[in-house]
């Protein structure tokens, strides 16, 4: 067998092995600690006013945070999060008796933006909000703050901030790759033996 035919066959085998592997995917990882307040306290958060963790109402687990009219909780990151990599910025909220609850986003360039959630509606039940579309494109998020601005208590739970992360190959994919490389090596060894 000529060297060019052997190279073509090797290339065919390598292509077959590569195509048998699952395509690389992106996974999301939550970069917020204590987002459901299940520690029973506000560790991981910066607080203003009298924000309190309560066990009387919760959307997820046993605890939620209660915010009064001048209370707030802030999540912050020293290095910041590229807005383009954020796949989820969400939370559940419940309040009765007031029109507004605001969320402020701060960026690494010193700018900020805000969003109003729960509009003019009161809610006896939990409402879920995902505010990824409210973030300023092309910027780096350094913090976001949830304000309790209604006259009655606002409850917040199940806060999540997720960013894209490269997926780690599944163990099955690695076994498949190793098998394919083993077959390639065996094929090359046999070819060398037969041509010698």
Indicate the class that CATH gives domain 27-165. mainly beta
pLDDT greater than 90 at residue 113: yes
Q: For the chain, what is the radius of gyration of the CA atoms?
A: 26
Q: Which of 121, 76, 77, 67 has the alpha carbon at shortest distance from 99?
A: 121
Note the pLDDT of residue 23. 47
Rounded to two decimals, what is the model's pTM?
A: 0.70
What digits encode the pLDDT tens for the residues 39-92?
Answer: 999 999 999 999 999 999 999 899 999 998 889 999 999 999 999 999 999 999
Residue 106 near residue 141 (C-beta atoms within 8 A):
yes
155 CB burial (10 A radius; 0-12, 13-18, 19+): buried
Give tens-digit pLDDT for 117-152.
865 555 668 889 999 999 999 999 999 999 987 778
Give me the residue spans of the domains in the chain.
27-165, 169-196
């Amino acid at each position: 067998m000529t060297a060019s035919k052997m190279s073509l066959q090797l290339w065919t085998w390598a292509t077959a092995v590569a195509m048998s592997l699952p395509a690389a995917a992106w996974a999301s990882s939550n970069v917020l600690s204590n987002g459901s307040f299940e520690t029973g306290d506000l560790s991981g958060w910066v607080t203003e006013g009298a924000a309190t963790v309560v066990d009387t109402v919760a959307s997820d687990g046993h605890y939620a945070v209660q915010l009064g009219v001048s209370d707030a909780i802030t999540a912050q990151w020293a290095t910041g999060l590229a807005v383009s990599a954020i796949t989820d910025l969400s939370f559940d909220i419940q309040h009765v008796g007031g029109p507004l609850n605001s969320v402020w986003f701060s960026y690494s360039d010193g700018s900020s933006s805000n969003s109003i959630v729960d509009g003019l509606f009161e809610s006896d039940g939990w409402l879920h909000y995902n505010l990824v579309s409210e973030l300023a494109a092309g910027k780096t998020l350094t913090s976001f703050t949830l304000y309790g601005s209604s006259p009655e208590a606002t409850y917040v739970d199940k806060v999540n901030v997720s960013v894209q992360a490269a997926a780690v190959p599944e163990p099955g994919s690695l076994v498949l790759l190793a098998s394919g490389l083993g077959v390639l090596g065996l094929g090359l060894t046999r070819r060398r033996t037969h041509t010698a």
